[in-house]
Amino acid sequence: MDGVQTGAAQKLLDRQSLVAPLRGRILEIGPGRGVNLPHYHPEAEWVGIEPAGSKHRAIRRRARQLGRSVRLHAAGAEEIPLADASVDAVAGTFVLCSVRDVRAALAEIRRVLRPGATFVFLEHVAAPAGTRTRRLQHVWTRVPFAQCRPDQHTGEILKGADFTRVDYIETTARGVFGLQVPLIRGTAVR
């Protein structure tokens, strides 16, 4: 994103307001280099699953800088190494596009959530058919090193994932080359 956003997009992209309300034992899927760590409540017990071991050092460094202890697993979202109903919340930001099997990952997220607990998410999604953005999304998914499929209908996939309730809002943010990038932000309740 280029930093010039509408008010609606800025609010949607605000990671702090997404994760700060979460309490208890929180699992973050695909935390990357730990960009969300500063935004969690100080008393939250943070557990991360990040399949890219090369990012673990950055996560641990950021956690030390914040004075936060973390538990980190080298695992993917399709096979979460935690017990059933063992977390109070799951968070994911811009990660479902890189998961090999989104439906399997959502089933795992649902499995590890306690009854009534929530999965909070912020994701880029497929642009409307026939748009310049959608054409570029299709091209991007074919790039071998990209590891990102931004042309998924993630909202629809979430609604079909057997959660009790799925709510999200949609907007667009201005991306590189002036593209309008569609985003969703919301919650799925077990």
**For the chain, give me the number of helices (H) and strands (E)?**
6, 7
HSE-CB for 69 with a 13 A CA cutoff: 3
Check if the beta carbon of residue 58 is closer than 8 Å to that of residue 89: no
Model pLDDT for residues 141-156, shown as the tens digit of each residue: 777 666 777 788 899 9
Q: Report, as an integer, the average pLDDT of 105-123.
A: 97
Cβ contact 25:40 at 8 Å: no
pLDDT(56) > 70: yes
Q: What is the pLDDT of residue 54?
A: 92
CB-CB contact of 93 with 15 (8 Å):
yes
pLDDT band at residue 171 under the 50/70/90 scheme? confident
Structural domains in the chain plus CATH codes: 7-189 (3.40.50.150)
Q: What is the pLDDT of residues 61-112, one digit of tens each?
A: 999 999 999 999 999 999 999 999 999 999 999 999 889 899 999 999 999 9
> Of 29-33, 103-107, 165-169, 171-175, where does mean pLDDT reach its minimum?
171-175
* pLDDT above 60: residue 1: no
Model pTM score: 0.88
Residues written for the chain: 190
* 7-55 per-position pLDDT tens digit: 555 666 789 999 999 999 999 999 999 999 999 999 999 999 999 999 9
The residues that bridge with 180 in the sheet, in sequence order, are 174
- Dist CA 81 CA 75 (whole Å): 7
